[in-house]
Structure 1
Amino acid sequence: MPSENTSSFQALGRLLRYAKGYRRRIIAATSCSIINKLFDIAPEILIGIAIDVVVNQESSFVAQLGFESPKEQIIILAVLTFFIWAGESLFQYLYMILWRNLAQRLQADLRQDTYEHVQELDMAFFEARSSGDLVAIMNDDVNQLERFLDGGANDLIQVFVTVVAVGGVFFILSPMIALFAFTPIPLIIWGAFFFQSKAGPLYNDVREKVGALSSRLSNNIGGMATIKSFTAETREAERLRVASEDYVEANRKAIAISSAFIPVIRMAVLLGFLATFVIGGYMALEGTLNIGAYGVLVFLTQRLLWPLTGLAQTVDLFERAMASTRRILDLLGLRIAVPNDGKIDLPLSTPGRVTFNGLQFTYPNSPDGVHNIDLDVPAGGTLALVGATGSGKSTLMKLLLRYYGPERGSILIDDLSIDAISMQSLRSAIGLVSQDVFLFEGTIRENIAYGRPDASDEDIIEAARVAEAWEFIERLPAGIETLVGERGVRLSGGQRQRLSLARALLKNPPILILDEATSAVDNETEAAIQRSLKKIGHGRTVIMIAHRLSTIVHADQIVVMEHGHIVERGTHQALIELDGLYAAQWRVQTGGV
């Protein structure tokens, strides 16, 4: 992963490598910016030539081109002025269209590519990064780059073109004046680079503070019910104020640098202008410099130097954009720890036998995980996993779904290593119903059909019936078209759980994982879900994780886990007779044997 201290020009190089598919658009936009600027400085030259015509008339520069009459010369200059202004307007329109469309296309593709890449990252990444920071990168940082491409890129190009083109005219008309007029430019360029070196780290900090602020807002809005229940509004408002003030302070430091740059540039511009004005004036009085040429030099000095006063704002915009670019491309450059390189697709009718062989996995910076796990779940069988929180039950399921990759050992589905199975095929073969149900903002229909968007209404309703969700859906005013709200906030916990079960059923997977699916529901809902499970468990492999032992007494195999190890296994009756951990927990929950 690239260093945070990567220079802005290196970040620009990385961006150009990413944008190689846009090369033609970039060249076209740059060409229009260059041509527009050449047209833009031409009127100053024409003004000097017009002065020359008025002063020297038949011996003017234009007369040497074959137009001897002063009036004819003026007409020629007027015609040239018209075409130059028309050309400037045309190419201004073209570069604005090209740069803005390029900015829109590039920001859309960057956001899409970043999101798709983030989707491929393993779950450990999401556990280590806040969602607010990721949203800030894919939204605010991408928009910051868009703002630079909308105007800043053109400004940088046109400043460079102005220096080169005007410098060429100066050295043609008077090398000595050119030498004095251009003396401030090295100071201006040095100031820009100095500003860049000082501002770069500051804008990195600004972007980090934006991410922290976005994360705070995202967390607080998502946890509003908890904030209200603990009457913590004042405390959370204060924490948000601190995050906001950190962002303001980071910007203040960056603004202090950019603001100090502008007065330095203005004084440098004044020196260059005075050099042209005084030295050129003396030379014109002495007759060693044409009056028209003197006019051209005076006007072009302003054309050359005054735009440089805006260089600070342009470099400021550039620095902000490159700080954002670093964050975007750093995220795009993260390695995918669990690659989707499997080539085999499981058949839809795969039996669903699951085998864990010598499985070893520990979480980064944590002793938690699973150790030397050997398990075999026959096709159509039911495995129940029990144990204290942190014993490794859910970790096994995450490894089966390839949210993580094991350090040692293998997992097989019907004698095929899951590493050899394509990710889409693997996860299509597994239905997951977890304790923490996530519903997407939309209708009940859309949420049930999430795994099969093309499902018919009949199939959706049947899945809802089997999951015992149809009864409450029918009572809703809009039925399956009812909006569930963000994360299903308009439904009760039991209703969300039943929709989650219906969603998994509609997918019709050969393997079904129930991760604490009934731990957070009332007794009535639990009974309804248990009735559903009896219907759907037939003919498919079911792996259940449960704390309520009453829900797993009929499992074909019960495995007790502790600190990542299997410590007991057998049927309910066999484990009761063993009189170990399972039997002790059973007595606690039932009040007796």
Structure 2
Amino acid sequence: MNKKQITRWLKGQIQDSFTRGRSARFWLINSIGFGLFSGILIIIQAKLIAYILAESIVNHTPKKELASLFLILLLLVAIRAVFTYFSQITGYSCGESIRRQLRQKLFIYLKKQGLSEISKKPAGAWNNIIFEQVEEIQDFFAKYLPQMILAGIIPLIILSIVFPLNWAAGLIFMITAPLIPFFMIIVGMKAADANKRNFIALQRLSGSFLDRLSAMVTIRIFNQMENESNSLAEASEDFRIRTMQVLKLAFLSSAILEFFTAISIALAAVYFGFSYLDELHFGTYGNGKITLLTGLFILILAPEFFQPLRDLGTYYHAKAKAIGAAESIFTFLKETNTYESETQISKKILKPDINEFELIAKNLVVMANDKTPLTSPLDFSLVKGEKLAITGKSGAGKTSLINAIMGFLPYQGSLTINGMEISEINHEQLHQLISWIGQNPLLLHGTIRENVLLARPEADENTCINALSKAQGLDIIKNKKDGINSIIGDRSAGLSVGQAQRIALARAIVQNGDFWILDEPTASLDKKNEELITSSLKMITADKTALIITHRLNQLKHMDKILVMDKGKIIHKGNYEKLYNAGILNPIESRI
């Protein structure tokens, strides 16, 4: 990946990032401005210190007469500290706005790509990208970019002051200064590659660890604890080695910067020392001698001349880290110019009218995110109040079709709700129409109440209990000490599959969508829980429009329409009686 391209992309994020009502550009300009004023105060401060010392040494001025100058010096130090503080605060705000914008873009990206794309990476890897890697971009905007501007301005201001006083000292500064960024770039190029490898290793370690942790029971049952421990140890060791490589380059870079800075300041000090000993007679204009005030002023300025360059060298590692971290983010987001913000998306169309619900598919071909066709052209329709079942062997394309209907997969052809293409409907507005239950219920770590009221967190306790009652789930809270406030662990820990599915059903009831999508809701349940869920669903969806994937004959009996799919095609259509009498449904159930 081209580093210049990634750097340009990073800088381009400044254009559309906001925090606390201000753009990232506003915060960046303020950070540079405060830093510049702080640099100017350093020059004034250096002049005042040199004057106080010269007056004390050369003119033997009493300290009492210099008291006012000491007070002014203290005031300058305080003001400079304030400017430095605000420079850092505004720089942080610039980075904060960028991080917020990038995370929003990543979440919109994942929402557009859908579950099929998310499942391609372990959860730990996504966590690393969205949180750790975005976080590493902070210092690029908060420190590196402001310092890059200051490193070009402050040394030039100091040179413009030093040259009229002593051209030899100015020449020393001007010749030695470029050595610092030169070696900084050489070391920094290596550091960027090392950081990139380090983030890849961290992604691998994060994904491996979380996957092994969630599959701990399976690993123990199959007696693979030692092998998996060795695998994690290898990933951890790889990450350790790569981290040490990054640190080695960081220490090398710091050593180089300090070395050349020390050499430059030493040259200036040697020059002034020998000039005061009358061994050197150049550097001044005309036949004048170098005064103590001039020498002290320039020597005090010398470290401050190199300090912006040294800081830039230090923060150059922030750039290297940002480039390494941004590569994965850039790879995800480069496919579009810029993902629309939530506001932009919501402006595209109005919420569809659900009073006369009609779902129509014409020549519909569901596509993967890489544009690979997942189905052949499909034609079907579903009107308000109808119940449509889709059945068929595993891999027939049933779940892909549902993902397209919910807006998670792209498609070709036409797929409309009330004449409006689903691809053009805002996802949030579309999902407000839908109550969804999947095959494997996913409950969030939190209380039963929080999970049931996920779609309406402001709803009261009675709403939660009524939903659980309709879902045949009151026995779940009766057996819990804290009732609806009982904690559900990660991956529904503490609940059976049947209990988790009934809570998921209660959650869908609270959502109260007019269009119910059910993806094999009883596939993983025992007979008792299957009967409970089936009876609840029959009652709840009586006046709703429903689309259900199922292989159960007892559920297919109640459907108005049935589509039989195989290898991405609809091979049979009809009602239950027609398809059952033709001997089509019995073989399907026996094969599943």
* Counterpart residue number, 2:155: 163
Secondary structure, in 3 states, of the residue corresponding to 2:378? Answer: strand
Contact kept in structure 1, 2:257 and 2:310, CA below 8 Å: yes
Distance 1:11 1:588 in 2: 52
Distance 1:155 1:365 in 2: 41
Distance 2:591 2:243 in 1: 58
Equivalent residues in 2 for 1:356-371, closer than 5 Å: 356-363=361-368, 369-371=374-376
* Counterpart residue number, 1:292: 293
**Over residues 389-428 of structure 1, what are the superposed CA-to-partner deviations in whole Å (9 max), with x where a residue is unaligned?**
10111122112112112122x2233455434544333322
* Counterpart residue number, 1:346: 352
- Aligned identity (percent) is 22
**Which deviates further from its counterpart, 518-527 or 298-307?**
298-307
Cα deviation for residue 363 of structure 1 reads: 3.0
Cα deviation for residue 520 of structure 1 reads: 0.2
Match of 1:74 among 32, 51, 66: 66
Q: Does 1:444 align with 2:462?
A: no
Distance 2:26 2:201 in 1: 36
Q: Does 1:509 align with 2:501?
A: no
* Counterpart residue number, 2:14: 16
Secondary structure, in 3 states, of the residue corresponding to 1:386? Answer: strand
Contact kept in structure 1, 2:113 and 2:409, CA below 8 Å: no
**Over residues 61-120 of structure 1, what are the superposed CA-to-partner deviations in whole Å (9 max), with x where a residue is unaligned?**
xxxxxxxx7768634543432332232233234334444455455544543454355434
* Counterpart residue number, 1:403: 408
Contact kept in structure 2, 1:181 and 1:275, CA below 8 Å: no
Distance 1:430 1:52 in 2: 81
Size of the alignment, in residue pairs?
Answer: 574
**Which deviates further from its counterpart, 509-518 or 551-560?**
551-560
Cα deviation for residue 570 of structure 1 reads: 2.7
Pairwise CA RMSD: 3.3
TM-score, structure 2 as length reference: 0.86
TM-score, structure 1 as length reference: 0.86
Distance 2:508 2:374 in 1: 27
Contact kept in structure 2, 1:435 and 1:516, CA below 8 Å: yes
Distance 1:7 1:397 in 2: 38
* Counterpart residue number, 1:584: 587
**Which deviates further from its counterpart, 99-108 or 281-290?**
99-108
Contact kept in structure 2, 1:258 and 1:312, CA below 8 Å: no
* Counterpart residue number, 1:524: 528
Distance 1:207 1:436 in 2: 32
Cα deviation for residue 562 of structure 1 reads: 1.0
Secondary structure, in 3 states, of the residue corresponding to 2:394? Answer: coil
Distance 1:261 1:40 in 2: 26
Q: Does 1:428 align with 2:432?
A: yes
Go from structure 1 to structure 2 and tell me whether the alpha carbon gap of 1:35 and 1:277 turns closer, same or farther (over 3 Å shift): same
Contact kept in structure 2, 1:11 and 1:326, CA below 8 Å: no
Go from structure 1 to structure 2 and tell me whether the alpha carbon gap of 1:433 and 1:270 turns closer, same or farther (over 3 Å shift): closer
Distance 1:134 1:291 in 2: 62
Go from structure 1 to structure 2 and tell me whether the alpha carbon gap of 1:561 and 1:38 turns closer, same or farther (over 3 Å shift): same
Give the letter for the 1:407 counterpart: Q
* Counterpart residue number, 1:222: 214
Distance 2:120 2:588 in 1: 34
**Over residues 199-243 of structure 1, what are the superposed CA-to-partner deviations in whole Å (9 max), with x where a residue is unaligned?**
223322222322222222332233333333333332222222222
Equivalent residues in 2 for 1:234-313, closer than 5 Å: 234-286=226-278, 288-305=289-306, 311-313=312-314
Gaps of 5+ in 2: 279-287
Give the letter for the 1:437 counterpart: P
Secondary structure, in 3 states, of the residue corresponding to 1:390? Answer: coil
Give the letter for the 1:355 counterpart: I
**Over residues 158-185 of structure 1, what are the superposed CA-to-partner deviations in whole Å (9 max), with x where a residue is unaligned?**
6555523432332122102321243221
Give the letter for the 2:319 counterpart: F
**Over residues 268-295 of structure 1, what are the superposed CA-to-partner deviations in whole Å (9 max), with x where a residue is unaligned?**
3343234322332233233731133223
Secondary structure, in 3 states, of the residue corresponding to 2:3? Answer: coil
Contact kept in structure 1, 2:147 and 2:308, CA below 8 Å: no
Distance 2:523 2:10 in 1: 52
* Counterpart residue number, 2:178: 186
Distance 1:588 1:412 in 2: 33
Contact kept in structure 1, 2:150 and 2:308, CA below 8 Å: no
* Counterpart residue number, 1:458: 462
